[in-house]
Amino acid sequence: MAGWSTHRGRAVSLPQANIDTDQLIPARFMSVPRAQGYGPYLLHDLRRDEAGDLKADFPLNAHDATSVLVAGRNFGSGSSREAAVYALIDAGIRAVVAPSFGDIFAANAVNNGLLPAQIDEASCEMLADKLGGRSQDIVIDIGARSLLLGSIGAQFALDDSWALKLINGWDDIDLTRNHGVAIAAFKNIRHQTTAWAWPSGAD
C-alpha cells in the first residue's frame, strides 16, 4: 500500500450523524470478491433508488471526483466490516472528516490508507456550512494535522502511530515479523505459566 502525506482533492458534505457501516455498504454486497471493486456499493441504499439508479440530489452523486467526505459524528459505527472502507477507497475517497468515528472503522481505515480526520464539532459544522450542497477544493496535510477548505483552515486529531502508518503506507504484518523472537518467547512463557489458556480435551 502506497503512503501519502498530503492530498489535494474535492470535498463534499454529508451532514448526517451515525452513518454506520451497514449504510456504507449493505450486507448483501459483502460476498463480492474485492478484485471486482466495491465502489458501486458505497452508501448504496442512500445513493440509489430501487432500480439501482443514482439519485441526482444525493451530494455524492451531484459531483464528480469527490475524494473527501465531511460527515457528522460517529461515522462508521457498528459492524466491523472492512468492506465499508473498501467501498470508500474504491470510490476514490481518501479522507473522511468528522467529529468522531467508530473505533473499529477508524482502525480499518488506517489499515487501508484512508484518513479518519477527527475534528471538533464547531469546525466540522463550519466546513459543512461552507460546502453546503457544493463540491470544493480541499488540501489535507497529515504531518501538520491540518486541512484547508477555501479560506477555512482546521486542525484535526490523529494518533501519532496512525499518522506514521498512513504516511509510510506500512503494513503491520511486516512490522510484526521483526518481533518474531519476542512473540515466540512470550508464547513459551505463557505456555509454562498459564497452560490452561490452551484449549484442553480437543477430540
Partner 1 sequence: MSIPQTMLDKLWAAHEVVQREDGVSLLWVDRHLVHEGSHHAFAKIKERRLPVAEPDLTFAVVDHYAPTRGRSKIADPEISRMINTLRENAAENNIRLYDLDDPRQGIVHVVGPEEGLTLPGLLLNCGDSHTSTHGAFGALAFGIGATEVAHVLATQTVWQRKPKSMRITVEGALRPGVSAKDIALAWIAKLGTDGAQGHAVEYAGAAIRGLSMEGRMTLCNLSIEGGARFGLIAPDETTFAYIKDRRFAPKGAAWETACADWRGLSGDEGAAFDREVALDASEIAPTVTWGTSPEQALPITASLPEASDVPPAKAEAARAALEYMGLKAGQTLEGTVVDQVFIGSCTNGRIEDLRAAAQVLRGRKAKIPGLVSPGSAQVKAQAEAEGLDQIFTEAGLDWVASGCSMCVGMNGDLVGEGKRCASSTNRNFKGRQGRGARTHLMSPAMVAAAAITGTLTDVRKLLEGQI
**Which residues are at the interface with partner 1 (CB under 8 A)?**
16-18, 20, 22-23, 26-28, 30-31, 33-34, 45, 50, 73-74, 77-83, 85, 100-105, 107-108, 111-112, 121, 159-161, 164, 172-173, 176-177, 179, 182-183, 186-187, 190, 194-202
Question: According to DSSP H, which parts of the chain are helical?
Answer: 21-24, 44-47, 59-62, 83-90, 103-111, 121-131, 160-168, 172-177, 180-193
- Which of 56/197 has CB closer to partner 1? 197
Q: Decide whether 9 or 100 has the Cβ nearer to partner 1.
A: 100
Q: Compute the least distance from the CB of residue 114 to partner 1, in Å.
A: 11
Whole-angstrom CA distances from 157 to 18, 42, 119 are 19, 25, 6
- For 191, left (φ over 0), alpha (ψ -120 to 50), or beta? alpha
Least distance from partner 1 to the Cβ atom of residue 93, Å: 17
Nearer to partner 1, 78 or 92 (CB): 78
Closest separation in Å from C-beta 9 to partner 1: 24
Shortest gap between Cβ of 203 and partner 1 (angstroms)?
8
The gap between the terminal CA atoms of the chain, to the nearest Å, is 42
